[in-house]
Amino acid sequence: MRSCISIALGVIALLALTPAGPAFGQEAKRPTIVCTLPALTAIAREVGGDAFEYVTLAKPDQDPHFVSPRPALMQKTSQAALLIEIGMMLEQWADQVADGSGNPRIFRGGPGRIIASAGIPFEEAPSVISRAMGDLHPQGNPHIWLDPIRAKTIAANIGTAMIGIAPSLRRDIEARLRRFQERIDAALFGAALVDLVGSRKLTRLVLDGSLWSFLDTTEVGGEKLRLKLGGWLATAQPLRGLPVVEYHKVWVYFSKAFGLDLAGTIEEKPGIPAGPRHQREITEQIRSAGVKLILVDNFYDPSMARRIAEDTGARVLVLPNQPGGEPGTDDYFRFIDYLLGEMTAALQ
């Protein structure tokens, strides 16, 4: 008898603890958008606003290459309307999460599986000629979110996917996408330069790496365009041409966008300690190029970078790789602010 009562009490307690989900007659549930990386979620929030629920699989200070596909991640994606990833062989664990979720929409090739890097030009891919000669890694460097220009296209890709699952929200989504892109332009170039040159030309110039020569050689009203530059690029002026070395191949897009001179990479092959020759080469490179900063993402072991820094007098700068990777950088704009702030501060 007593056991019957305790079972009944247990059932009541369980019912009381069950969260009031859609089964309990809530209004239409917002579709869930799952992003592999915090950078994608930060951008998706800008585009989707309150219309969606957002879930991020990787943590902001986690190595995006290696996330163990835990059951909790699979459970989080089981109801996903979209699974957004960078692609380019970065999140190779995403397939395991998707397969484990039992949600066929987001299986590779499914309608809800979105490759945010689609159509975005990449760097560090072998040139046309060498690819023909048998190089088998044509996908290029995947760390595209570190370039605000490319973030605009990531946002556009995400926006298209969102309209696909919520066509009635098209106007809202398009308006927020435009707003985000305009905010990026203003934050990057300053409003004055955007007014003068226009976003489309400036975007092409950054992608071609020819913005600075354009600003230096073009005059309007007898004044060099350079004087009209504002925003992040104005903040980044001290970094222009600054020789830096990275630990892992991460910083090429950021360097191109902000004019840093990426002189080398410490890690030759991920996960395999460097041999003596490479260690020597990178040390000499740092000395001869006068490298001041060694950029290390905050999930890598910085001991090798520190060792080399000790030998060369360069300075190790440990940086977040994703929005939220350091406190107060959750927002994409504050994330870029933070990176530029750390780098310029390190020079003083």
**240 touching another protein, by CB under 8 A:** no
Instruction: Give how many residues touch another protein by CB under 8 A.
Output: 66
Check residue 264 for interaction with another protein (CB under 8 A).
Answer: yes
3-class SS of residue 34: strand
- Residue 119 binds to another protein (criterion: CB under 8 A): yes
Distance CA 64, CA 183 (A): 27
Pick from 303, 313, 341, 347 the residue near another protein by CB under 8 A: 303
Among 1, 22, 23, 301, binds another protein (CB under 8 A): 301
The CA angle 73-79-81, to the nearest 5 degrees, is: 110
- Distance, in Å, from the CA atom of 47 to the CA atom of 19, rounded to the nearest integer, reads 29
Q: Nearest 5 degrees, angle CA 213-CA 218-CA 219? A: 145
- Is 196 a binding residue for another protein by CB under 8 A? The answer is yes
Q: Which of 68, 168, 345, 348: binder of another protein (CB under 8 A)?
A: 68
Binding status of residue 274 toward another protein by CB under 8 A? yes
Least distance in angstroms from the C-beta of 111 to another protein: 20
Task: Give the closest residue to 290 by CA, choosing from 219, 232, 241.
Answer: 241
226 binds another protein (CB under 8 A): no
Using rule CB under 8 A, residue 310 touches another protein? yes
Phi then psi for 176, rounded to 5 degrees? -70, -35
Positions in 29-58 near another protein (CB under 8 A) = 58
CB of residue 35 vs another protein: minimum separation in angstroms? 16
Q: Which of 25, 129, 167, 171 binds another protein (CB under 8 A)?
A: 129
Q: Is there a contact between 288 and 299 (Cβ–Cβ < 8 Å)? A: no
**Would you count residue 204 as binding another protein (CB under 8 A)?**
yes
Closest CA to 341 of 316, 329, 189, 229: 329
Q: What tokens does 281 get?
A: 């080469």
Q: Per CB under 8 A, does 220 bind another protein?
A: yes
Q: How far is the CB of 63 from another protein (least distance, A)?
A: 6
Choose, by CB under 8 A, the member of 60, 142, 190, 231 that binds another protein. 60
- Of the listed pieces 28-36, 76-84, 239-247, 282-290, which binds another protein according to CB under 8 A? 282-290
- By C-beta, is 219 or 341 nearer to another protein? 219
Cα distance between residue 206 and residue 139, in whole Å:
21
How far is C-alpha 321 from the chain's CA centre?
Answer: 7
Is residue 272 part of the contact set for another protein (CB under 8 A)?
yes
Tokens of 315: 């300075």
The span from the CA of 181 to the CA of 153, in Å, is 9
Phi, psi of 306 (to 5 degrees): -65, -40
* End-to-end Cα spacing for the chain: 77
Of the two residues 177 and 316, which places its CB atom closer to another protein in the complex? 316
Q: Does residue 212 bind another protein (CB under 8 A)? A: no
Residue 67: CB atoms within 10 A of its CB come to 20
Chain positions contacting another protein, by CB under 8 A? 58-63, 66, 68, 70, 119-123, 125, 127-129, 131-134, 136, 138, 140, 195-198, 200-201, 203-204, 207-208, 218-221, 225, 264, 271-281, 283-285, 298-304, 306-307, 310, 318
